[in-house]
């Protein structure tokens, strides 16, 4: 009986990835839902052509529950390949072609017995494994939502009753035919006498995406399974895949030999359903300075010599408390530098810095970012992040945000834009974006910067330093002795209670100061590049210029 080709093995891995996390497959296949951008150019074109409703798609995928992985079955593959050959012969995508028996009859004729249920997917216009899988799973088609109704191909992939699948993928590049370049038939089956199997793939992750791709499989690797129910062994196929039927129980699985650069052992427990166990050979090329977690949340403390820190599964923390210098952490790129040392982060959700004053940037996920001591600078990023500055005076900056943010140190929460969902612990300073922001300090001494845009900034308590930046800003010091800079634009500056100072970069002679009838003060910048800029001041006691002061 045939084993899977590399193309078919990748399709099997994609199907099993979807079965393990049906909802998560949306983000595996769609990069930008709003603009219908898929994982490949061809997938993007299909999403756009069929006008797939991404909200409906996500809602549908959220309704599926995870199911056990599929095993390969050679008899199902024989039936599938025979059908793909007929699709080419008749140049037609169909489940039943002229002179062909029905699905059940042809699967039985291929040697698949004790049948409880079968199903079939056919795609006669596939371009590569990802495109074929996306076509089946998204199930694009001509409907008001761009999704077939019902989504029968996807339902077959995610049906918990099916235990096995066989695939027949044939290439067809004859310019005289309409079908091709690949014809994919997937035959799913369930047997009444089925025995659960350990399934998986051994691969060398050449492109570093932590997932099997056609051509990465390692054949000829020995797989030994030992437990209270006995010992079993097999060898990986040329595609890298393997499987073993096992009685229910707990086993130690060992991979060794062939081109595997080491020995990998792992314990598994199998019940009445298939269990999947994969091996990435790159994980076995261990460096003595590498750190790896397990399948739960781990706390990994970096060694003095930089190398790989891989949290693996779970929500993991990488800590750099032992570093002898400040660290610059960029979770987007997965790099950490400190002096001459560099670490690489993989599968890390949270980080802890040093006592020296670090620069820490999160990624698009939900991060816990801890600064420890000194003056730390956190760069705002996607996700619902928690910024914990520790001791020292620490800043969260949203300077790269594409829209205005609302951040409040008094409540410890962000509620708008890139700050939405963020939390602040022991943070003393905020820097906004180049758009219209709303920043609130707390009762400590805060530094609040608006940058460009028409900002609203409130110092609340404490002796605050506030800088509105460019734009027409409203700046309020609140309680305490505050120092407030309006910056470019016509600003309103309210010092509030305390002894407050408005700061100007020019000389006294460049400004005209007027006392208004309502008790406010107007300051006109009458000379230089900012001529005609007028600020309205309330509750300000001192004007600070580059060459002197005026007391109001």
Q: In the prediction, which pLDDT does 211 show? A: 96
Q: In the prediction, which pLDDT does 286 show? A: 58
415 and 400 in a single domain? The answer is: yes
102 and 218 in a single domain? The answer is: no
Domain boundary among 284, 302, 332: 284
335 and 221 in a single domain? The answer is: no
Q: In the prediction, which pLDDT does 529 show? A: 54
Determine phi and psi for 155, rounding to 5 degrees.
-60, -35
255 and 361 in a single domain? The answer is: no
Q: What is the CATH number of the domain that holds 17?
A: 3.40.33.10
Residue 515 lies in a domain: no
382 and 406 in a single domain? The answer is: yes
pLDDT greater than 60 at residue 201: yes
Whole-Å CA distances, 487 to 16, 32, 96 = 57, 37, 74
Nearest Cα to Cα of residue 472 among 399, 529, 413, 535: 535
Domain boundary among 284, 314, 336: 284
CA gyration radius for the chain? 31
Q: In the prediction, which pLDDT does 292 show? A: 79
34 and 122 in a single domain? The answer is: yes
Q: In the prediction, which pLDDT does 444 show? A: 96
333 and 482 in a single domain? The answer is: yes
Express as a percent the part of the chain with pLDDT over 70. Answer: 98
Which residues, at least 6 apart from 312, have a Cβ–Cβ distance to it below 8 Å? 292, 293, 294, 295, 298, 347
Whole-Å CA distances, 512 to 509, 527, 545 = 8, 9, 12
DSSP-assigned letter for residue 147: B
Residue 17 lies in a domain: yes
| Mean pLDDT of the region 40-69 | 98
Q: Which residue has the higher pLDDT, 208 or 139?
A: 139
Residue 507 lies in a domain: no
**Domains identified in the chain, total number:** 3
Preceding omega of 100 cis (within 30 degrees of 0): no
Residue 14 lies in a domain: yes
Over residues 406-423, the pLDDT tens digits come to 999 999 999 999 999 999
Confidence of residue 248 (pLDDT cuts 50, 70, 90): very high
pLDDT greater than 70 at residue 530: no
Over residues 4-37, the pLDDT tens digits come to 999 999 999 999 999 999 999 999 999 999 999 9
Over residues 125-152, the pLDDT tens digits come to 999 999 999 999 999 999 999 999 999 9
50 and 150 in a single domain? The answer is: yes
DSSP-assigned letter for residue 506: S
The secondary structure element, H or E, covering residue 361 is strand 359-361
Cβ proximity of 334 and 368 under 8 Å:
no
240 and 144 in a single domain? The answer is: no
Over residues 300-333, the pLDDT tens digits come to 998 777 688 988 888 999 999 989 899 999 999 9
Confidence of residue 120 (pLDDT cuts 50, 70, 90): very high
CA pair distance 353, 366, nearest whole angstrom? 17
255 and 386 in a single domain? The answer is: no
Q: What is the CATH number of the domain that holds 231?
A: 2.60.40.1120
CA pair distance 107, 43, nearest whole angstrom? 31
309 and 400 in a single domain? The answer is: yes
Q: In the prediction, which pLDDT does 159 show? A: 98
* Residue 270 domain boundaries: 197-284
Domain boundary among 262, 284, 306: 284
| 421 φψ region: left (φ > 0), alpha (ψ -120 to 50), beta (else) | left
The CB density around residue 263, as the number of other CB atoms within 10 Å, is 11
Residue 145 lies in a domain: yes
Q: In the prediction, which pLDDT does 532 show? A: 54
Q: Where are the beta strands (DSSP E) in 87-133?
A: 115-126
174 and 315 in a single domain? The answer is: no
- Burial bucket for residue 392 (CB in 10 Å: 0-12, 13-18, 19+): middle
Q: Which of 8-17, 252-261, 424-433 has the lowest mean pLDDT?
A: 252-261
Residue 51 lies in a domain: yes
CA pair distance 18, 455, nearest whole angstrom? 45
Cβ proximity of 523 and 511 under 8 Å:
yes
Please report the DSSP string for 179-236 in residue order.
Answer: S-SEEEEEEEEEETT---EEEEEEE--TTSSSS--TT-B--S-EEEEEETTEEEEEE-
Residue 45 lies in a domain: yes
Residue 142 lies in a domain: yes
């Amino acid at each position: 009986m045939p084993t899977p080709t590399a193309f078919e093995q990748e399709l099997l891995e994609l199907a099993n990835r979807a079965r393990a996390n049906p909802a998560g497959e949306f983000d595996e296949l769609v990069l930008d839902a709003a603009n219908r951008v898929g994982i490949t150019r061809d997938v993007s074109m299909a999403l756009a052509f069929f006008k797939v409703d991404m909200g409906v798609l996500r809602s549908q995928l959220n309704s599926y529950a995870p199911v056990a992985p599929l095993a390969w079955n050679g008899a199902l593959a024989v039936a599938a390949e025979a059908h793909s050959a007929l699709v080419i012969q008749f140049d037609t995508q169909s489940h039943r072609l002229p002179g062909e028996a029905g699905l059940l009859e042809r699967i039985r004729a291929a040697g698949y017995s004790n049948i409880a249920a079968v199903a079939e997917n056919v795609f006669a216009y596939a371009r590569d494994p990802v495109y074929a899988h996306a076509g089946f799973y998204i199930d694009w088609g001509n409907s008001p939502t761009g999704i077939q109704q019902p989504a029968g191909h996807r339902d077959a992939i995610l049906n918990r009753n099916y235990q096995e699948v066989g695939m027949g993928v044939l290439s067809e590049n004859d310019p005289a035919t309409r079908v091709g370049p690949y014809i994919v038939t997937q035959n799913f089956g369930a047997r009444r006498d089925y025995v659960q199997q350990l399934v998986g793939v051994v691969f060398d992750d050449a492109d570093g995406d932590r997932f099997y791709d056609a051509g990465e499989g390692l054949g000829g690797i020995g797989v030994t399974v030992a437990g209270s129910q006995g010992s079993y062994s097999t060898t990986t196929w040329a595609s890298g895949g393997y499987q073993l039927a096992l009685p229910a129980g707990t086993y130690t699985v060992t991979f060794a030999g062939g081109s595997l650069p080491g020995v990998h052992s792992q314990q598994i427990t199998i019940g009445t359903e298939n269990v999947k166990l994969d091996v990435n050979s790159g994980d076995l090329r261990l460096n003595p300075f590498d750190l790896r977690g397990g399948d739960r949340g781990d706390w990994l403390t970096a060694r003095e010599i930089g190398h790989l820190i891989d949290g693996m599964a779970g929500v993991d923390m990488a800590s750099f408390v032992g570093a002898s210098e400040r660290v610059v952490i960029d979770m987007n790129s997965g790099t950490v530098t400190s002096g001459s040392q560099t670490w690489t982060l993989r599968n890390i959700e949270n980080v802890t810095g040093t006592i020296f004053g670090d620069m820490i940037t999160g990624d698009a996920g939900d991060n816990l970012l801890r600064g420890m001591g000194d003056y730390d600078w956190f760069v705002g990023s996607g996700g619902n992040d928690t910024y914990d500055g520790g001791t020292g005076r620490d800043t969260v900056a949203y300077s790269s945000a594409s829209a205005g943010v609302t951040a409040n140190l008094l409540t410890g929460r962000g509620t708008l834009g890139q700050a939405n969902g963020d939390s602040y612990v022991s943070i003393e300073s905020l820097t906004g974006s180049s758009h219209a922001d709303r920043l609130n300090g707390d009762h400590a001494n805060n530094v609040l910067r608006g940058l460009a845009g028409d900002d609203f900034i409130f110092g609340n308590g404490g002796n605050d330093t506030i800088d509105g930046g460019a734009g027409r800003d409203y700046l309020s010091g609140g309680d305490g002795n505050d120092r407030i800079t309006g910056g470019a634009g016509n600003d309103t500056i309210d010092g509030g209670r305390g002894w407050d100072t408005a700061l100007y970069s020019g000389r006294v002679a460049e400004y005209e100061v007027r006392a208004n009838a309502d008790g406010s003060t107007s300051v006109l910048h009458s000379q230089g590049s900012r001529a005609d800029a007028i600020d309205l001041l309330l509750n300000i006691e001192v004007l600070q210029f580059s060459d002197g002061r005026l007391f109001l």
